[in-house]
Structure 1
Amino acid sequence: MKIGMISEHASPLATLGEADAGGQNVHVAALARRLAADGHTVDVYTRRDDPALPERVQLTDGVDVVHVDAGPPERLPKDDLLRWMHPFGDDLAARFGDPAVRPDVVHAHFWMSGLAALRATRRTDRGPEPPVPVVQTFHALGSVKRRYQGAADTSPTARIALEQTLCNDVDLVVATCHDEVRELQLLGATEDRVRVVPCGVDLGRFTPSTTRARATDDDGPVRLLSLGRLVERKDVGGVIEALARLGAQGQRVELLVAGGPPLGELERDPEVRRLRGLAERLGVGDRVRFLGAVSHDVVPDLLRSVDVVVCTPWYEPFGIVPLEAAACGLPVLASAVGGMLDTVVHDRTGLLVPPRDPAAVADALLRLSDRRFRLRLGAAARVRAERQYGWAAVARQTAEAYAEVVSSSSARAPLPQWPVTDAPLVSAGGTR
């Protein structure tokens, strides 16, 4: 099968830790590689953000990254890219006019990629041939982001209305977790046009420690790791408050915080300053260490150096870190939100707590001070990761979704052109 992936802001070639580079970049790169290993060919279309980039770069055998000219060839915040989705789609439409390039299916990653995909495949000047079917993965929903961030949400005001458009007009929505299905239904997606295919993890890179040095060290404190972007919604502050509660009970716990700017720039980061100040006020400053940005290459070793991974955000569309921790045989303490409701099984592979509840985090960490309990959870987490979240299984399920829409695709009516503006769009039907 010839697959066209669109990932307008998240290039699989990007360096993780940079602005807007995170889980989606990993997902697109790993999924494309595995699909190619299974015999498919994949072109990943992403926006050119550097004039020196070649048009086409081979990621691996069977996977090329294609840089599309849409807007200035410079790095822009993803929330500023909506205005360039028409030119992005027009560029793709021109490419897809060549039978040698035209894919059998297009998989759009993120909502703006979906807009470009529909413009490229449903243009009214495409002629009599049926349009290429479009599969959509949102990775995050504007409706959820607006609910939790309110006025701090920097998304374009049209985002939620356009996500509703996509739910109605793409051929299939691939959700990454069951909580997302409920959110999609609130946007108007029908049950028969949504499939759940989770994100995956590299089971060959993320492996348990062979020495179990941390697990057998009864003398040192329990070492926690928080890994990810340093933004308020990740609620690292709640973990610091939990540490203070545990300290008052005589429990020895330390927290490593990986993420944010490079180590030498931490002092200039407002979130780091806020968290450090909180730790000092609560008397646990000596037990919280900020590592700064870490390369994805060193993450497996970092995970294997700790006892427990904590992921307690207010909300999380999916969450790659809990999967990486599980693959390393570590228990995860996670908020009972989003994808972590699927990836963390309470009392079996980790512990789930309500979001924004430092007391519940402290109680869970007290349970995790039991080394044998940690080992049991971690072993079960690795087994579950092997059974459900390896990229081979995820790619197989994704290819099955592609085959479904390709086989059922017929001469769908071309879609009218909707305006791409930063303004609310209102419609009673499928045209917006």
Structure 2
Amino acid sequence: MKKRIALISEHASPIAAIGGADTGGQNIAVAELARHLAALGYEIDIFTRWDDRRLPKTLNWRDGIRIIHVEAGPVTFIPKEKLLPYMTAFTKDMLRFIKAENNRYKLIHAHFFMSALVAADIKQKLGIPFIVTFHALARVRRIHQGRNDWFPDEGFAIEERVVAEADQIVALCPQDRDDLINLYQADPGKITVIPNGFRPDEIYPLDKLFVRMALKLDPKEKIILQLGRMVPRKGVDNVIKALGYMRSKHNFEARLLIVGGESDEPDPGITPEIGRLQKLAKAEGVSDLVTFVGRRTRDMLHYYYSAADVFTTTPWYEPFGITPLESMACGTPVIGSNVGGIKSTIVDGKTGFLVPPNDPVLLGRRIIELLSSNKLMMYFKENAIRHVNESYTWMKATHLTANMYERIATQSPLRAEDEDDSLSYIDDSFEALIETIEKSRRKIRLATLDSAQAIYRSLARGGKVLVCGNGGSAAEAQHFAAELVGRFEATGRRGLPVMALTADTAFVTAWANDFTFEEVFARQVEAYGQPGDVLVVISSSGQSPNLLKAIRAARKREMFCIGLLGKEGGAAGELTDINIIVPSNETSRIQEVQLHVLHVLSHLIEQQIMADDQNVIQITEEWSISQFQMAGLSGKTADKRKIRHESTKCDR
């Protein structure tokens, strides 16, 4: 039985165009959370306000995800600051939908304070527990924006009520958690810190020269990128002032690309903030250095991140900030404000720099420092890619969220007394395995074939295969070696030189005890590995230090590296030549599919080796017969010799 979850995001639809005044990080967060929850087996309904009659009331968006457009006020765009009066209608329409479909939601996850108001009212009527991610807190926003904050004052009381009534609160960063406790007296036991993330299959580094050619940018120019919503609090004016300081005080010039706005063209009539920034650029004497690009689709963003030398983001405040993650994922260092979520995602002096939010002079100096040192830029680039892939992916965020859901759902009074948890678990586990296998079949078949061919080529040239892993993966490594040294399906084939590094328990325990467990596999690779050999690492996460060091040791010995991984590949996925990444975040599902992949590899390798051995035998027989014939032996005698040869043939 699949678990149905309701997400509420009253103004931030997952299908809205990103980059406008009311569309940004929350839209992305809701979309990605829904996508990844569905991949884990949840059924997701996203409730968002209906603002376009061209869209159906119920949209089957993706497998396992529906978007429910709720009638709340006129079916047209309304700024989010003016939506609060329509939340009563939103609640009524959502209740009608729930009752009409007889849906038994395990829980509701509300995004933003108005969605949380709806969730709190529904909890009162139906008893459904709810979780809230605020994305921005009214008191914090008012502190930083003052009169520029146009949300009604009623938001303060609503947030206080929601904090008290929510079953759990998601804080996006440590600062968010502190604000909830200090400004709202939130119960620390009800707060879970779960940062937003990025998708490695969507945001990844591209060759700088290639993307600059594709975007028609000067390949030699120093480029600063500013990307995001075009609103005053994002601090784009701070970057323009820094550009003016750099030119006037240091005679240092760089191109500033500003991506964002309400339209594909940078139209001040549609996006007033662009007009204000254009005037500022002129006043600072840098109009010729500033290029307003307009809004761009998400599939183009990693082109801009990769084309830039540095990404700047200096808002007055920022509850989290997804764009710094995306920039670092593309290997572009970030200079960001030392506020909110940004100060927790950027590692100052390692993946970029942190600066005060309104200090264009210091910002300009940091930009010059970074752009003047290729060594520093490369250092930041390598650290940035590693940092975000280890800590800030949507898969990791979703795994943490799902754990929280299960914790809340098990405490819910909605659980039926006759619900058989054990049988439900068995059914769900089979369904999850079947779903993972289906996804794997589509996604990893080519990588599996490439891996089999790489191992075969090494063995055919006289090379060998080293295999390693930890825990359950160690058992799978030994299983794989046993299949190839012994036999998998084919009888009569020769043994193949495949060694499971975990099998040498005397060495592993001695080296781990006397030196460090992180070096045990690397040490064996140094001892046994030769150029042209293959190293296979098996891991459900791809993060184990001893595996990473083994791969680096194999690289030094010019070995070919294959990763049989899960959970998006982890750090190991960046180091191996071929990745077979099982598309799941559950360790048990990953290991089950990995064992199947090892059996498939064994079959493919074995069949190719057998075919080669038969070819050698056939060639040897033909050569022997021809020699007999040349010696004047009769065909009958030759046939007898052939029979004798069959009885004594051996593998090459």
Query: TM-score with structure 1 length normalisation?
Result: 0.89
The number of residues matched between the two structures is 404
- CA spacing shift, 1:85–1:384, aligned 2, 3 Å: same
Q: Distance in 2 between matches of 1:304 and 1:285?
A: 24
Q: Distance in 2 between matches of 1:96 and 1:219?
A: 55
Q: Which residue of 2 aligns with 1:152?
A: 148
Letter of the structure 1 residue corresponding to residue 195 of structure 2: P
Shift of 1:314: 0.8
- CA spacing shift, 1:357–1:133, aligned 2, 3 Å: same
Map 1:174-193; keep pairs closer than 5 Å.
Answer: 174-185=170-181, 186-193=183-190
Q: Distance in 2 between matches of 1:57 and 1:214?
A: 35
Map 1:75-154; keep pairs closer than 5 Å.
Answer: 75-97=77-99, 100-123=102-125, 126=126, 131-154=127-150
CA deviation vs aligned residue, 1:51-81 (integer Å, no higher than 9, x gap) = 3321211121111111112222221111221
Shift of 1:392: 1.0
Q: Distance in 1 between matches of 2:240 and 2:390?
A: 34
Q: Which residue of 1 aligns with 2:267?
A: 266
Q: Which residue of 1 aligns with 2:160?
A: 164
Q: Which residue of 1 aligns with 2:75?
A: 73
Shift of 1:272: 2.4
Q: Which residue of 2 aligns with 1:380?
A: 383
Q: Distance in 1 between matches of 2:335 and 2:211?
A: 17
- CA spacing shift, 1:329–1:97, aligned 2, 3 Å: same
Unaligned runs of 5+ in 1: 412-432
Q: Which residue of 2 aligns with 1:208?
A: 205
- The answer to whether structure 1 residue 328 and structure 2 residue 330 are counterparts is yes
CA deviation vs aligned residue, 1:286-330 (integer Å, no higher than 9, x gap) = 111111222222111111111111001111111111011011111
For the aligned residues, what is the CA RMSD?
2.1
Q: Which residue of 1 aligns with 2:569?
A: none
Q: Which residue of 2 aligns with 1:426?
A: none
- The answer to whether structure 1 residue 393 and structure 2 residue 389 are counterparts is no
Q: Which moved more, 1:395-404 or 1:282-291?
A: 282-291
Q: Which residue of 1 aligns with 2:498?
A: none
Q: Tell me the percent identity.
A: 37
CA deviation vs aligned residue, 1:315-372 (integer Å, no higher than 9, x gap) = 1111111011011111000000111011111011111001100111012112211122
Q: Which moved more, 1:88-97 or 1:193-202?
A: 88-97
Letter of the structure 1 residue corresponding to residue 14 of structure 2: P
- The answer to whether structure 1 residue 46 and structure 2 residue 43 are counterparts is no
- CA spacing shift, 1:407–1:2, aligned 2, 3 Å: same
Q: Which residue of 1 aligns with 2:550?
A: none
- CA spacing shift, 1:8–1:65, aligned 2, 3 Å: same
- CA spacing shift, 1:218–1:111, aligned 2, 3 Å: closer
Q: Which residue of 2 aligns with 1:430?
A: none
- The answer to whether structure 1 residue 409 and structure 2 residue 412 are counterparts is yes
SS in 2 for 1:226: strand
- CA spacing shift, 1:249–1:145, aligned 2, 3 Å: same
Shift of 1:222: 2.0
Match of 2:363 among 361, 364, 387: 361
Q: Which residue of 2 aligns with 1:429?
A: none
CA deviation vs aligned residue, 1:390-415 (integer Å, no higher than 9, x gap) = 1111110000111111122348xxxx
Shift of 1:8: 0.9
Q: Is the 8 A contact 1:175 1:198 kept in 2?
A: yes
Q: Which moved more, 1:331-340 or 1:258-267?
A: 258-267
Q: Is the 8 A contact 1:317 1:338 kept in 2?
A: yes
- CA spacing shift, 1:212–1:8, aligned 2, 3 Å: same
Q: Distance in 1 between matches of 2:19 and 2:207?
A: 28
- CA spacing shift, 1:265–1:257, aligned 2, 3 Å: closer
Q: Which residue of 2 aligns with 1:221?
A: 221
Q: Is the 8 A contact 2:202 2:299 kept in 1?
A: no
Q: Is the 8 A contact 1:135 1:173 kept in 2?
A: yes
Q: Is the 8 A contact 2:226 2:257 kept in 1?
A: yes
Larger radius of gyration: 2
SS in 1 for 2:257: strand
Letter of the structure 1 residue corresponding to residue 148 of structure 2: A
More helix as a share of residues:
2
Q: Distance in 2 between matches of 1:50 and 1:256?
A: 32
SS in 1 for 2:67: strand
SS in 2 for 1:136: strand
Q: Is the 8 A contact 1:93 1:119 kept in 2?
A: no
Letter of the structure 1 residue corresponding to residue 206 of structure 2: S
SS in 1 for 2:267: helix
Q: Which residue of 1 aligns with 2:278?
A: 276
Q: Which residue of 1 aligns with 2:351?
A: 349
Q: Which residue of 1 aligns with 2:58?
A: 56
Q: Which moved more, 1:374-383 or 1:272-281?
A: 272-281
Q: Which residue of 1 aligns with 2:230?
A: 230
Q: Is the 8 A contact 1:176 1:198 kept in 2?
A: yes
Q: Which residue of 1 aligns with 2:255?
A: 254
Unaligned runs of 5+ in 2: 415-652
Letter of the structure 1 residue corresponding to residue 110 of structure 2: A
Letter of the structure 2 residue corresponding to residue 359 of structure 1: V
Q: Distance in 1 between matches of 2:222 and 2:20?
A: 30
Q: Is the 8 A contact 1:323 1:343 kept in 2?
A: yes
Q: Which residue of 1 aligns with 2:193?
A: 196
Shift of 1:265: 5.2
Q: Which residue of 2 aligns with 1:173?
A: 169
Q: Is the 8 A contact 2:109 2:132 kept in 1?
A: yes
Q: Distance in 2 between matches of 1:88 and 1:270?
A: 30
Q: Is the 8 A contact 2:21 2:262 kept in 1?
A: no
Runs of 4+ residues over 4 Å off in structure 1: 211-215
Q: Is the 8 A contact 1:235 1:312 kept in 2?
A: yes
Match of 2:315 among 291, 313, 316: 313
Q: Distance in 2 between matches of 1:385 and 1:339?
A: 14
Q: Is the 8 A contact 2:230 2:260 kept in 1?
A: yes
Letter of the structure 2 residue corresponding to residue 383 of structure 1: R
Q: Is the 8 A contact 1:49 1:74 kept in 2?
A: yes
SS in 2 for 1:334: strand
SS in 2 for 1:122: helix
Q: Distance in 1 between matches of 2:309 and 2:208?
A: 13
Higher RCO (CA-CA < 8 Å; seq separation 6+): 1
Shift of 1:229: 1.6
Shift of 1:261: 3.6
Query: TM-score with structure 2 length normalisation?
Result: 0.60
Letter of the structure 2 residue corresponding to residue 252 of structure 1: E
SS in 2 for 1:75: coil
Q: Distance in 2 between matches of 1:109 and 1:367?
A: 39
